[in-house]
Structure 1
Amino acid sequence: MEAPNDPRPYAIAEPVDPLVRRMLARNPSPFTFTGTQSYIVGGGDEVAVIDPGPDEPEHIAALIDAIGSARVVAICCTHTHRDHSPAAAPLAERTGAPVIGCAPLTMADEGPRADAAFDPSYQPDRVLADGEALSGDGWTLIAVATPGHTSNHLCFALPESGILFTGDHVMGWSTSVVSPPDGDMTDYMASLQKLYERDDRIYFPAHGPAVEKPRQLVRGMMGHRRHRERQILRQIGEGHTRIGQMVTRMYKGLDERLWPAAGRSVHAHLIDLAQRGLVAQSGEDWTLAA
């Protein structure tokens, strides 16, 4: 889906909950929709910033202005793609706040989008394990480990408001790209099931609108991925044994710029299907398992 052309409220702190303000970075693209959304959590003297975004001076200055005189307790990153975490270091330098959240992950990414490359500058002061919490004046953030989109992906729950900040794991505008070798479809599906079993009231993703019926969306996303599995098995059965062949048939109408990303997700499905004994690989070709 393309980002809309209408003006967006960039660099403006928009209240979306008594404890949360949302700010949009000016980095729209076919992969980021209108841009990366940073969240300022806390309505009192202590706040946290979730997904500070790209290292863009306008965005960082707007975050500093919105934070005002409050003390930043933590700068939290859901994962370390370059549209999410690079602003953590300059924001920490300006505020003195620790960077707390996902683990660092530095690896070569020859993927289909430049902003999906991993951020080598990310150096957290504290890594949160699943279920670990941090707190400030009137709020608590609890880490929810959700590997799949990346192996280090975390969501953050705000129990005082029933909010889950979902990063790139669940978005209302698009499905998440699962790109091997780090992206893992088996983990991604397990993480979706994990969220489906929770009772969060609303999701705030890093891209796109809030998700007001989260369990309904997650159920649909799991169904969508199972549908893709069936498509892939059918394509192989019809003799379309290479990923490129599958993409052009399965993603009709998709912007061709997104075909490489679609190919990565197909590859992730194939790896998962192979691990389950349903397909086998021979060079660039995939076959149904005997």
Structure 2
Amino acid sequence: MAGPPPKPWPTGLTEQLEPLVRRVLAPNPSPYTYTGTQTYIVGSEDRVAVIDPGPDDPSHLDALARAIGDAQIAAIMCTHTHRDHSPAAAPLAERTGAPIVGCAPLVLDDSGPRADASFDRGYSPDRVLLDGEGMTGPGWTLTAVHTPGHTSNHLCFALEESGALFTGDHVMGWSTSVIVPPDGDMSAYMASLDRLYGRADRVYYPAHGAQIDNPRQLVRGMIGHRRQRENQIIRLLAEYGPASAADFVPRMYKGLDPRLSGAAEMSVTAHLVDLERRGMVTRSEDIWTGQ
């Protein structure tokens, strides 16, 4: 994971990225969110969609109101329901009367520790978009692209008129996505990467980090990186023998920020679960063994 760029960051400011796309950075930087969550406003002066409204922070909601101006909000669209992405949807809908549209709500039975941001259990959409469904406005069309993996309910949104893809946390401009079982699923994540690699998007706008101007090249590298990680796990099991997921972290992540050790352990676990399904490792309680 790369370190953040030097300050000042454009927190609360409206950045025009292309004719139909503006961006507002939320004030929630952290080791997991980089400089913060980036909310995108898509559309014309008259009617817009708001993608990933971000945390329920009054200053961010005020910044969004300034950026939106007098435009009508056709939809508040969430890529997934981590608490750095969707909680502002409800207060923004209350302020504006706009519907909440996008990913499905997610309710987990598991209450174990999580390395990534907690889930927004209060998220309640007015409409759930299925793969290929979308929203339209004057001169713009946003289409949902189902990309499970980071979370089971993750969506990307394709802006058909410009070739832009809003990638949420599935592909980010500063780091690979954290996959946290049981809801995060490495097999689904890899399949979603393969799906994006088969598309012809011009640019990615992620929820964290810089825009991505070479999408297919980056996705190809991400797929290769994940395959290297799983090969590394198999090699370490052969070299050192049975191990817990935590045992892999210091061997695989040299110089890791200690604050990210939990995320690294969860990513290793996600790889191990995927390898177990494929019959390449076995598990006895918390100990993993190579085949």
- Shorter-chain TM-score: what band? over 0.9
Q: In structure 1, list runs of 5 or more residues that go unmatched.
A: none
Equivalent residues in 2 for 1:76-87 (5 A)? 76-87=77-88
Question: Equivalent residue of 2:240, what SS?
Answer: coil
Question: Equivalent residue of 1:142, what SS?
Answer: strand
User: 2:173, 2:67 → 1: CA distance?
Assistant: 26
Q: Which of 253, 256, 276 is residue 254 of structure 1 equivalent to?
A: 256
Which residue does the alignment assign to 2:271?
269
Name the amino acid aligned to 2:270: A
2:189 is the counterpart of 1:188: yes
Name the amino acid aligned to 1:246: F
Equivalent residues in 2 for 1:202-241 (5 A)? 202-240=203-241, 241=243
Contact in 2 for aligned 1:15/1:21 (Cα 8 Å) = yes
- 1:216 Cα deviation from its structure 2 partner: 0.1
User: 1:80, 1:164 → 2: CA distance?
Assistant: 18
> Deviation per CA, 1:175-195, whole angstroms, max 9, x where unpaired?
000000000000000000000
Name the amino acid aligned to 2:259: R
Question: Equivalent residue of 1:199, what SS?
Answer: coil
Contact in 1 for aligned 2:43/2:140 (Cα 8 Å) = yes
Which residue does the alignment assign to 1:278?
280
Contact in 2 for aligned 1:178/1:268 (Cα 8 Å) = yes
RMSD: 1.1
Name the amino acid aligned to 2:91: P
Structure 1 runs of 4+ aligned residues shifted over 6 Å read: none
User: 1:168, 1:109 → 2: CA distance?
Assistant: 22
Distance 1:109 1:34, change over 3 A: farther
Q: Normalising by structure 2, what TM-score?
A: 0.97
2:18 is the counterpart of 1:11: no
Contact in 2 for aligned 1:2/1:29 (Cα 8 Å) = no
Question: Equivalent residue of 1:238, what SS?
Answer: helix
Question: Equivalent residue of 1:116, what SS?
Answer: coil
User: 2:7, 2:107 → 1: CA distance?
Assistant: 36
Equivalent residues in 2 for 1:50-129 (5 A)? 50-107=51-108, 108-113=110-115, 116-129=117-130
Q: Normalising by structure 1, what TM-score?
A: 0.97
Name the amino acid aligned to 2:208: H
Q: In structure 2, list runs of 5 or more residues that go unmatched.
A: none
User: 1:165, 1:67 → 2: CA distance?
Assistant: 18
Percent identical pairs in the alignment equals: 64
- 1:109 Cα deviation from its structure 2 partner: 4.9
- 1:4 Cα deviation from its structure 2 partner: 3.5
Contact in 1 for aligned 2:147/2:192 (Cα 8 Å) = yes
Equivalent residues in 2 for 1:31-42 (5 A)? 31-42=32-43
Contact in 2 for aligned 1:111/1:261 (Cα 8 Å) = no
- 1:256 Cα deviation from its structure 2 partner: 1.2
Which residue does the alignment assign to 2:180?
179
Question: Equivalent residue of 2:82, what SS?
Answer: coil
Contact in 1 for aligned 2:114/2:180 (Cα 8 Å) = no
- 1:282 Cα deviation from its structure 2 partner: 1.2
User: 1:55, 1:16 → 2: CA distance?
Assistant: 24
User: 1:276, 1:99 → 2: CA distance?
Assistant: 38
Which residue does the alignment assign to 2:22?
21
User: 2:186, 2:40 → 1: CA distance?
Assistant: 27
- 1:138 Cα deviation from its structure 2 partner: 0.9
User: 2:173, 2:15 → 1: CA distance?
Assistant: 19
- 1:3 Cα deviation from its structure 2 partner: 2.9
User: 2:260, 2:113 → 1: CA distance?
Assistant: 11
User: What is the aligned length?
Assistant: 288
Which residue does the alignment assign to 2:164?
163
User: 1:110, 1:83 → 2: CA distance?
Assistant: 19
User: 2:225, 2:111 → 1: CA distance?
Assistant: 26
User: 1:109, 1:36 → 2: CA distance?
Assistant: 25
> Deviation per CA, 1:15-58, whole angstroms, max 9, x where unpaired?
00100000000100111000000000002311000000000000
Contact in 2 for aligned 1:46/1:136 (Cα 8 Å) = yes
Name the amino acid aligned to 2:266: R
